[in-house]
Amino acid sequence: MKRPIIVLLVIIGIIAVCVHARHRVGAAREKLHAYAGVVFSHIEEEDAQAAQSAVEALSNYWRKEQRYLILFLRHAELDELSRSVARLKSHAEFEEWNDLHSELRAILWQIDHIWQSERIRIGTFLLSA
């Protein structure tokens, strides 16, 4: 009788971790979209100082959040997103507006892709067995 209970507890634990990770990625996604919106508005105004400070705020947020997300997610996707975030600062400093805009779009696409890939599906459990 103990084995079914232990198996049930393990399954509940796995599902809880998946739900928490999905929630955390969703929150990070929303924050990155908000930060990017601020940077996009500064790009339109071509305000270099404001764009640099907004990029710095986005970078600081991502550094903190990445440390936590790396516990739950595939490292390659997070590494690529982190490299993209790191490139933002130089684009903002040299006022490369098109490159900054493109890099931000890539970051948003990457976080959206990570969020979509973290969906909990029955097929995920069936195919991995």
Percent of the chain surpassing pLDDT 90: 72
Structure tokens at 73: 């997610």
CATH 1.20.120.290 given to domain 2-119: yes
Residue 92: CB partners within 8 Å, gap ≥ 6? 39, 48, 51, 52, 55, 100
Q: Using CA atoms, how far apart are residues 67 and 62, in angstroms rounded to an integer?
A: 9
Dihedral angle of Cα 92, 94, 97, 102, to the nearest 10 degrees: -70
User: Does the pLDDT of residue 125 top 60, yes or no?
Assistant: no
Report pLDDT digits (tens) over 62-111: 999 999 999 888 778 899 999 999 999 999 999 999 999 999 999 999 99
User: Does the pLDDT of residue 128 top 80, yes or no?
Assistant: no
Instruction: Read off the DSSP letter of residue 73.
Output: S
pLDDT of residue 121: 67
Dmax over CA atoms of the chain, in Å, equals 67
Q: Where are the domains of the chain?
A: 2-119
Q: What is the pTM of this model?
A: 0.84
